[in-house]
Structure 1
């Protein structure tokens, strides 16, 4: 199984201001997934903005083909996983490895890959 970066989010304080700023800066176009999330619709690597306040680093999601199987394997290796979140772009969850390092996993919905 080859696992690579599949999705990332930038955490911002105000989604509308972020859309105006990054739309003007990079030409990004947006679709609103829900009240706290914008998907950027014209980037090579899928990405979006989440309204959780400013962050110094993006949240990286590793692309997996079967989220449930990877989470099960993660548990067997001593890691833990948070709640699986479902959206139009797919299913994802925050995880912690056996040393406490946080990662995120993403299983894309059809049409997102």
Structure 2
């Protein structure tokens, strides 16, 4: 096992709005999928690396509480600028971590989810 993380899902109320936000922040295009009454916009990833998606479904509700996933930020400063331009908010950081781990920030997306961004050192 090379990593504990296999897949993650960020719940959204408005898939179009959330997809536009994350595509702007990551400067990337997301793949759209649907299955079992759920709609998804999949983050770009390459196997065998973990992947994830924005997920709209009846049982999935955005929240500012609960688990926080930290997403890779190759240029945290540029990404935080795009967060605010895309309608999100930085609520913590940037914070340099000890022991040369990198820099993190915590944002709130357009759906009200807390999401972390991590730029490795």
Scaled to the shorter chain, the TM-score interval is 0.3 to 0.5
TM-score (norm 2): 0.42
